[in-house]
Structure 1
Amino acid sequence: MKRKFDSLSQEAYLSIWRTYDRLKAIEERFFAPFGLTPQQYNVLRLLQGSESSVPTLTIATRLVSRAPDITRMLDRLEQDGYVLRTRSQEDRRAVLVSLTPEGHKILGEIEAPLEAMHADQIGHLSQKELRQLCELLSKARKPHEPEGSNW
């Protein structure tokens, strides 16, 4: 009988990848009716948690997953009326991004259904299991995070 995996490391990695794929499918179906992608939502949440406008490059470094074209993503969010971009008065090369009232409104609409989606995704795990999962994922990710990462 042929082994399913070449190593335990490979099995763990592929299990993480498969889990990501299954949970991401739920997430993409969730955000579609709001006209957002998960990454666009991530940008809006980052801006909501900020006390002031945030430089574009700072947003790019704080996203949960890398965004190869942050400018295009911000173009779309601005076109939809969710964000406002302005030039920094101190450094005219820097573009600052802030959340608009419409951005706050869409986040308010998403909040409760999003909580229900997360319960659907991983609500079958106990609080203890969730803590263990977070700790193990953090430990696996840590050597690969950029220096100074908030993760």
Structure 2
Amino acid sequence: MTTTVSDAPPAAGRPGSPEHLAYLALQRLAMRQQYTSAELLRRHDLSLPQFNVLRILRGAGDAGLRCSEVGARLLVHDPDVTRLLDRLEKAGRVSRTRDPRDRRVVVAHLTAEGRAVLSALDGPLTELHARQFAALSPERLALLTELLSDLTLEDHP
């Protein structure tokens, strides 16, 4: 039996290839996970990027972070960190102050209101993540995490 062009497996990365199928599966999963997370956050009048900013500032503690540092730590790059901070400040969830040593530097801090919103979301988000990954045993979840960690963006544009 001879192999025809149509019988040959698709070239790496081409439609139908294992890489392409893995990409599609990851995209579908990411979109579904993101949608359910966004629905939960919307009930607290937060977008995913705003929530990410609040979590970053909670992790920074009382010292806060420079606006540029907040931007560098975002899960998804947002070129307009100032706009995110403006909205969070208007909602009373973030405050900004000028660094007394260098007035050009603005430091963002989590307010008590911001801390309260995050505290109110801690339980529901924990439950959501448990439901999102309930189909995987702890061992398979660890394997998934390991496999995803092997994929680095440093090697790719």
Give the TM-score, by structure 1 length: 0.87
Q: Check if 1:42 corresponds to 2:49.
A: no
Choose which of 15, 19, 35 in structure 2 pairs with 1:9: 19
Shift of 1:142: 4.8
The residue identity in structure 2 corresponding to 1:136 is L
Higher-RCO chain (CA-CA 8 Å, sequence separation at least 6): 1
Equivalence for 1:127:
138
Ranges in structure 2 where 5+ consecutive residues have no aligned partner = 1-5
Taking the aligned partners of 1:136 and 1:92, their CA distance within structure 2 comes to: 45
Task: With the length of structure 2 as denominator, give the TM-score of the two structures.
Answer: 0.84
Work out which of the residue numbers 110, 124, 129 in structure 2 matches 1:99. 110
Name which of structure 1's ranges 69-78 and 134-143 shifts more when overlaid on structure 2: 134-143
User: Do the aligned partners of residues 144 and 50 (structure 1) sit closer, same or farther apart at CA in structure 2, a change above 3 Å counting?
Assistant: farther
SS in 1 for 2:96: strand
Whole-angstrom distance in 1 between the partners of 2:155 and 2:81: 22
User: In the alignment, which of 72, 78, 92 is matched to residue 89 of structure 2?
Assistant: 78
* 1:26 paired residue among 30, 36, 39: 36
Q: Which runs of 4+ in 1 moved over 3 A?
A: 1-6
Q: What's the % identity of the aligned pairs?
A: 36
* Offset at residue 144 of structure 1 (A): 4.8
In the alignment of these two chains, the number of paired residues is: 145
The AA in structure 2 aligned to 1:74 is L
